[in-house]
Structure 1
Amino acid sequence: MSSDLRVTSMDKLVVLGSEYHYYSLPLAARQLGDIDRLPKSMKVLLENLLRHVDGDTVQEEDLQAIVSWLQSGHADREIAYRPARVLMQDFTGVPAVVDLAAMREAVQRLGGNVEQVNPLSPVDLVIDHSVTVDEFGDDGAFAENVRIEMERNHERYTFLRWGQKAFNRFRVVPPGTGICHQVNLEYLGQTVWHTEENGRRIAFPDTLVGTDSHTTMINGLGILGWGVGGIEAEAAMLGQPVSMLIPDVVGFKLTGKLSEGITATDLVLTVTQMLRK
């Protein structure tokens, strides 16, 4: 039944002359029930489960639980969320690369093929937690700070450069580019990803887990993101799902306009304070 649902939910579209396949929620709703009023964030989760439903790690009952969420606005069922990519900063990312290198060393020792040890999900490691300010107050301060940073962290950066060359689906954003969540917002977020599967291009929403505390800022672009610890990020990097309860969704309606002298930051902090109550 689960595989049948995936097959019957497959649809396609043509973009600039290229054909893409995707898992259609309206088609899936014919079996699962009405999802028109389901929050958009929940629809992204629903597509994620639909794309990976296999009767084992993801069961059709998991999808049904999200659809049934509309009845009470809450569900206690645990689901297996598979993010499209993983975001790391150097503080937690370096140990992850060390673990991969150790795995390759162990495979080599056992006579295996080290090329088989690679991330299964795309990983971006942004170097921003090593930045310090030594020079300031003049036009050359930034360049000098980057030079000092490269000198201080030469060994780590050399190791990460090796990791980028050695492992597939692993990219390193060099120091001086920007802070992690900014780079994620401006450069890494794609909104829609696609992958090759059985000779077909499969398009799907961009989703991620990240070890940076501001990972969730990407949600502002309609990209579902969760902050996780290093171990969870490594598991996702190796293709393992992230176990989580179906989340609650809180609606927040803003009306009117900001008074003079009130900034967007003031508004965000006020909303955050209200939600924490």
Structure 2
Amino acid sequence: MTASIDSFGAKGTLEVGGEAYEIYRLSAVEGAEKLPYSLKVLTENLLRTEDGSNVTKAHIEALANWDPNAEPDTEIQFTPARVIMQDFTGVPCIVDLATMREAVATLGGDPDKVNPLAPAEMVIDHSVILDVFGRADALERNVDLEYQRNGERYQFLRWGQGAFDDFKVVPPGMGIVHQVNIE
């Protein structure tokens, strides 16, 4: 990701436990203090990704001056710092990336340049069927059966995790996407 232009001088450093973290202070943007929490998160995102083209000072000011009663008149960019998907949507994304790599290679390009633009994690949830129950090893047995039933799928996802930069798979039995996202 390119460095932010930082028109508002919002960029700073927060030191915690001997570690330094780059932050963007909302207090540098007049009006941001009155925004609802969700728009404060979006404002921080715009400060962090301000590039003068896709995200400009005017976009940040428009958001800071948000009026809940006004008709929206400015479209703004949102650039996620991280993407989390469940397997239902994640598997097609990996198929698309693999297909793009094939197309790039066919056209003579470097297929290794095709990668997610942001770190992405795919949580395989709701895929384990309850075949075995009432036993201490029920979860382990059910997860084993899931791998047996869908071995080709998991082999493909294992390949994807190794092939693409910043892509991780959370295997079945480790939690549902909402829980993993919070953790």
Q: TM-score, normalised by structure 2?
A: 0.87
- What is the rounded CA distance, in whole Å, between the counterparts of 1:157 and 1:151 in structure 2? 10
Give the superposition deviation at 1:181.
Answer: 1.1
Counterparts of 1:102-181 in structure 2 under 5 Å?
102-181=99-178
Give the superposition deviation at 1:72.
Answer: 4.4
Structure 2 unmatched runs, 5+: none
Contact 1:66-1:75 within 8 A present in 2 as well: no
Higher RCO structure, 1 or 2 (CA under 8 Å, sep 6+): 1
Q: How many residues align?
A: 179
Give the superposition deviation at 1:35.
Answer: 3.0
Contact 1:89-1:180 within 8 A present in 2 as well: yes
Contact 2:125-2:176 within 8 A present in 1 as well: yes
Contact 1:89-1:125 within 8 A present in 2 as well: yes
Q: TM-score, normalised by structure 1?
A: 0.59
Give the superposition deviation at 1:160.
Answer: 0.2
1:187-234 deviation line (CA, Å, top 9, x unaligned):
xxxxxxxxxxxxxxxxxxxxxxxxxxxxxxxxxxxxxxxxxxxxxxxx
RMSD: 2.0
Task: Give the secondary-structure state (helix, strand or coil) at the position aligned to 2:55.
Answer: coil
| Residue 40 to residue 139, structure 1, CA distance change in 2 (3 Å) | same
1:142-199 deviation line (CA, Å, top 9, x unaligned):
222111111000000000001001111000011111212112222xxxxxxxxxxxxx
Contact 1:65-1:75 within 8 A present in 2 as well: no
Paired residue for 1:214?
A: none
Give the superposition deviation at 1:126.
Answer: 0.8
Structure 1 unmatched runs, 5+: 187-277
Give the superposition deviation at 1:4.
Answer: 5.8
Give the superposition deviation at 1:47.
Answer: 1.1
Task: Give the secondary-structure state (helix, strand or coil) at the position aligned to 1:124.
Answer: strand
- What is the rounded CA distance, in whole Å, between the counterparts of 2:107 and 2:84 in structure 1? 31
Counterparts of 1:215-234 in structure 2 under 5 Å?
none
For 1:117, give the aligned amino acid: V
Paired residue for 1:84?
A: 81
For 2:64, give the aligned amino acid: V
Give the superposition deviation at 1:60.
Answer: 2.1
